[in-house]
Amino acid sequence: MCTYWSDLWFLKRSAWVFFMLSMLTTAFVAAEQISGARFAKPVDRYGHFALGRPHEYAQLVATTDRGQDVVLELPGHEVFEDLSPRMVTLTDHGAIRLLAIVSSVDQGARLVLFKLEENQLAILAQSAPIGTPNRWLNPVGVADLNDDGEAEVAAVITPHIGGTLKVYRREGARLVEIDSLPGFSNHVYGSAELELSRAVLVGGHRQLLVPDVSRKTIRAIRLTRDGLTETERCFLSVPVTGPEALGDCDIQLNSSPGSE
């Protein structure tokens, strides 16, 4: 009798262990991640070419950590008006998402976050479009700007015609604008250089380095309880044309007495 109950206990325990291992294995299998991404299938159907040719595309291709390519194709009235997808996370241990600029023939550009779900790419969240065709935006970065553990998305809207810096927070399926500030330009029309702004750490806080409309002054912007606030400036002798000036400004701000 003792042997019977002992054997029964062992079988039940073994079944429980097997079940837990199966659950862990299933979780591991389901954790396929995006490991790379690119745009494909250049098209002429929109024809704005804010970044020069051929940077309007019909397809987004994500490569997973298992070496599989997953393709999303936009409908005929939209294009990816962008150079390359940005691989981002919204939290420290969050899944990898893809941030891209999608433009439509009637509403212009908007920000879109894509996720990998059930072996397909799907929209996780998106901003409201600019509202006018041939109007573009250039992302600044994705970073936790207010130290709440979740990243915000920053972009300059219409950087060629009096740009406005906007910061968005994800709320469900929307990227909701939480504040804005005028007077910025982080892109030259027709150029493929998108790295004229960035998020940096200054004095223990994430800030945005973004050129003004002349691109001869880099403004340091912080997100506080009161919204977007300019903290400092870096002055240049010539307009910024590449990321090197941002690196110099970063060093300057972090070596100033107020950065401690």
Residues 249 and 153 occupy one common structural domain? yes
From residue 59, give the alpha-carbon distance in Å to each of 29, 34, 69, 216: 26, 16, 12, 36
Q: Are residues 130 and 157 in the same domain?
A: no
The 10 Å Cβ neighbour count of residue 194 is 19
Residues 146 and 251 in one domain: yes
Please state the domain count of the chain. Answer: 2
Span 180-216, pLDDT tens digits: 999 999 999 999 999 999 999 998 899 999 999 999 9
Same domain, 102 and 73: yes
Residues 212 and 225 placed together within one structural domain of the fold? yes
Work out the percent of the chain whose per-residue pLDDT is above 90: 84
* Residue with tokens 């400004």, as numbered in its chain: 249
Confidence of residue 24 (pLDDT cuts 50, 70, 90): low
| 15 Cα distance to chain centroid | 44
pLDDT-derived band of residue 256, with 50, 70 and 90 as boundaries? confident
> Mind listing the pLDDT tens digit for each residue in 159-186?
999 999 999 999 999 999 999 999 999 9
Give residue for tokens 């070596």: 255
Examine the domain organization and report whether 156 and 247 are in the same domain.
Answer: yes
Same domain, 250 and 143: yes
User: What tokens does 73 get?
Assistant: 């194709």
103 and 160: one domain? no
pTM exceeds 0.85, yes or no: yes
Where is the domain boundary, 135, 164, 194?
Answer: 135
Of 160, 150, 151, the residue nearest 196 (C-alpha): 160
- Residue range of the domain that includes 239: 138-255
Same domain, 150 and 122: no
For residues 93-116, one letter each, b for 16 or more C-beta atoms within 10 angstroms of the residue's C-beta and e for the rest, the string is eeebbbbbbbbbeebbbbbbbbbb
Whether residue 30 is predicted with pLDDT greater than 80 in this model: the reply is no
Q: Is the pLDDT of residue 143 over 90?
A: yes
Q: How far apart are CA 219 and CA 212, in angstroms?
A: 7
In tens, the pLDDT along 40-96 reads 999 999 999 999 999 999 999 999 999 999 999 999 999 999 999 999 999 998 999
- The domain boundary, picked from 105, 135, 165, lies at 135
Is residue 59 located within the same domain as residue 76? Answer: yes
In terms of domains, do 112 and 152 share one?
A: no
